[in-house]
């Protein structure tokens, strides 16, 4: 009943917003130099030092370097950089034709101030390995690292540069930058408006006004049907709805869904917060691997996601640092053999295998209200029943998930355009912390060695070689062929309604989350004549 009330309230809000948009004459189709975009996730801040643009382009601010559509790097504010032979000093030279929208020139002092502020904030931008950032002169900034760090460019590609002279406590709600767009207005829980920066050094964007409205998926589809938005994020369940004047673009992503499976037994231990640790069923590697081989990922993507998804085999499918050897084929007979060889047998005929009196049965929790996670979990659980494992799917609150995730399976969602995620998911020192990364308690000296080698590599190729070995080195690894702390199931396509005649450019592979990934190439959008 609670879910239905939420849907009714969301639809009422959508109707009110549509009336408001109509009253303002904001019919998106009337203007060919503006767009109205409906997304579900409202940012917490527009301050890059506190996470705005993390993993994506912050659009209001410039970055030293930026991603291309194939996830390589190109210069943005920087015109070049030099890395010392020991990998500890990065010297960047920045362009001289970049200005903040208040008319002040962007200098190396602004870059240094931004990085030092982001480090002090200790938010989603991880700069713990940065010793200092110092402006040598107006166009040169010297960044000193405590150790070589291969992901440093990935971090810099999402840290927008803020103005030292205009930075204050309210910057996150009233930002000034030097990027392709200027901030205009933010009405909390309603919309954010941006306009083109006509003085942008990269050339003024073709789209002059951008209105981002925050709506549930149902409300966004209603706005599409009413012709009041140009672009709207949707879902696999709604994406098959045909609307005149619009087409659906299924943007590839590394936004995955899969089970975390506790790898430790239940020995009565608890985390620092008092949450129980360990599961006597999933701590057995044959259980975890059998589940992995029993799931028909393509069937889940085709049926549950209406074809708006692909099989997932890792946290970084499709990325340059992915190991193609992590792919496994669905094999029910092999899954059954794994269990039988380890002594798991259905002795009482109830359809559940057991060993030493222990049934192969456990709970998998997901955040209630998330229909996609629920559907994926239930479809996988139904398939796994065929090999004699029962997974009881249960929707609960995130607060309750934080308490149960160390001892029960969780239908998680990850996916990022940066390799940092692999490091946080599997490093031993991150196990059993209250941050969702490694609740399964996975630890491995071998994996830690590859992780550290990847982080400290001086070249991208060397780093990628080690990221791949983290997953599978021919003998062991974090993949489902190896220790299998995760059972990856599907990568979601980001289902997007786009008004006919609008090009949203070449979208890079999206990371986790509906919203921000879509607008990272906003300066490439344009209406076709």
| pLDDT reported for residue 451 | 97
| pLDDT at 320 exceeding the cut of 60 | yes
Could you tell me which residue, 459 or 385, shows the higher pLDDT? 385
Provide the 3-class DSSP secondary structure of residue 40: coil
Provide the 3-class DSSP secondary structure of residue 177: coil
- Answer whether 379's CB lies under 8 Å from 363's CB: no
pLDDT class for 517, splitting at 50, 70, 90? confident
Which residue has 């070449």 as its token pair? 506
What's the chain's length in residues? 529
Q: Please report which helix (H) or strand (E) contains residue 381, including its range.
A: helix 371-384
pLDDT class for 391, splitting at 50, 70, 90? very high
CA dist., res. 338 & res. 343, Å (int): 9
Q: Please report which helix (H) or strand (E) contains residue 425, including its range.
A: helix 420-426
Q: Calculate the CA 218 to chain-centre distance.
A: 22
CA dist., res. 365 & res. 394, Å (int): 5
| pLDDT reported for residue 28 | 53
The total of other beta-carbon atoms located within 10 Å of residue 465's CB is 16
CA dist., res. 90 & res. 108, Å (int): 13
Q: Quick one: what percent of the chain has pLDDT higher than 90?
A: 75
pLDDT class for 3, splitting at 50, 70, 90? very low
Q: Cα-flanking dihedrals φ and ψ of residue 378, to 5°?
A: -70, -35
Outline where 324-363 has alpha helix (H). 332-341
Provide the 3-class DSSP secondary structure of residue 490: strand
**Which of 45-54, 296-305, 310-319, 448-457 has the weakest average pLDDT?**
45-54
Q: Quick one: what percent of the chain has pLDDT higher than 70?
A: 92
CA dist., res. 113 & res. 119, Å (int): 10
**Which of 35-39, 412-416, 471-475 has the weakest average pLDDT?**
412-416
The total of other beta-carbon atoms located within 10 Å of residue 325's CB is 15
397 contact partners, CB below 8 Å, separation of at least 6: 367, 368
| pLDDT reported for residue 295 | 98
Q: What confidence tens digit (pLDDT) does each residue in 326-373 have?
A: 999 999 999 999 999 999 999 999 999 999 999 999 999 999 988 889
Q: What confidence tens digit (pLDDT) does each residue in 66-122 have?
A: 887 777 789 999 999 999 999 999 999 999 999 999 999 999 999 999 999 999 988
Which residue has 């494992």 as its token pair? 389
Q: What confidence tens digit (pLDDT) does each residue in 448-471 have?
A: 999 999 999 998 899 999 999 999
CA dist., res. 299 & res. 379, Å (int): 9
Q: Please report which helix (H) or strand (E) contains residue 489, including its range.
A: strand 486-492
pLDDT class for 420, splitting at 50, 70, 90? confident
- pTM for the predicted model, two decimal places: 0.85
| pLDDT at 5 exceeding the cut of 50 | no
Q: Please report which helix (H) or strand (E) contains residue 134, including its range.
A: strand 130-137
Which residue has 């946290």 as its token pair? 315
| pLDDT reported for residue 30 | 57
pLDDT class for 529, splitting at 50, 70, 90? low
CA dist., res. 406 & res. 365, Å (int): 11
pLDDT, average across residues 272-283: 96
DSSP string, 459-476: SHHHHHHHHHHHH-SSS-
| pLDDT reported for residue 182 | 96
**Average pLDDT, rounded, for the chain:** 91
């Amino acid at each position: 009943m609670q879910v239905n009330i939420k849907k009714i309230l969301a639809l009422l809000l959508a109707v009110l917003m549509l009336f408001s948009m109509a009253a303002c004459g904001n019919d998106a189709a009337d203007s060919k130099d503006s767009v109205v975009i409906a997304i579900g996730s409202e940012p917490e801040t527009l301050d890059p030092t506190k996470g705005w643009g993390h993993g994506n382009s912050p659009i209001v601010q410039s970055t030293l370097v930026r991603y291309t559509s194939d996830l390589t790097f190109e210069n943005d504010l920087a015109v070049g950089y030099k890395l010392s032979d020991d990998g500890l000093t990065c010297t960047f030279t920045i362009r001289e034709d970049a200005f903040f929208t208040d008319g002040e020139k962007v200098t190396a002092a602004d870059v240094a101030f931004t990085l030092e502020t982001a480090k002090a904030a200790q938010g989603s931008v991880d700069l713990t390995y940065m010793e200092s950032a110092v402006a040598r002169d107006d166009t040169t900034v010297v960044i000193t690292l405590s150790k070589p760090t291969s992901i440093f460019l990935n971090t810099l590609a999402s840290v927008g540069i803020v103005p030292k002279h205009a930075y204050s406590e309210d910057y996150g709600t009233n930002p000034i930058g030097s990027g392709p767009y200027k901030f205009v207005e933010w009405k909390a829980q309603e919309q954010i408006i941006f306009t083109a920066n006509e003085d942008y050094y990269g050339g003024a964007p073709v789209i002059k006004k951008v209105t981002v409205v925050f709506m549930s998926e149902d409300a966004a589809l209603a706005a599409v049907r009413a012709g009041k938005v140009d672009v709207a994020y949707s879902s696999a369940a709604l994406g098959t709805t045909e609307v005149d004047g619009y087409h659906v673009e299924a943007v590839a992503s590394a936004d995955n869904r899969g089970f975390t499976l506790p790898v430790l037994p239940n020995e009565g231990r608890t985390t620092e917060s008092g949450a129980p640790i360990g599961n006597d069923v999933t701590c057995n590697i044959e259980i975890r691997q059998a589940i992995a081989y029993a799931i028909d990922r393509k069937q889940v993507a085709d049926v549950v996601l209406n074809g708006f998804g692909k099989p997932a085999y890792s946290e970084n499918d499709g990325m340059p640092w992915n190991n193609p050897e992590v792919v496994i084929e669905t094999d029910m007979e092999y899954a059954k053999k794994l269990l039988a060889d380890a002594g798991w047998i259905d002795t009482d005929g109830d359809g559940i295998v057991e060993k030493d009196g222990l049934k192969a049965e456990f709970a998998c929790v997901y955040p209630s209200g998330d229909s996609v996670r629920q559907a994926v979990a239930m479809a996988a659980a139904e398939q796994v029943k065929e090999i004699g494992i029962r997974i009881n799917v249960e929707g609960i609150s995130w607060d309750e998930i934080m308490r149960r995730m160390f001892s029960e399976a969780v239908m998680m969602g990850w996916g990022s355009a940066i390799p940092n995620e692999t490091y946080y998911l599997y490093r031993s020192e991150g196990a059993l912390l209250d941050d969702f990364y490694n609740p399964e308690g996975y630890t491995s000296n071998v994996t830690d060695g590859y992780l550290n080698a990847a982080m400290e590599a001086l070249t991208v190729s060397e780093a990628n070689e080690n990221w791949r070995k983290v997953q599978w080195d021919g003998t062991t690894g974090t993949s489902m062929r190896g220790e299998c702390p995760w059972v990856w199931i599907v990568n979601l396509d980001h289902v997007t309604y786009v008004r006919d005649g609008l090009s949203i450019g070449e979208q890079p592979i999206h990371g986790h989350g509906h919203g921000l990934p879509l607008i990272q190439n906003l300066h490439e959008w344009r209406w076709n004549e």
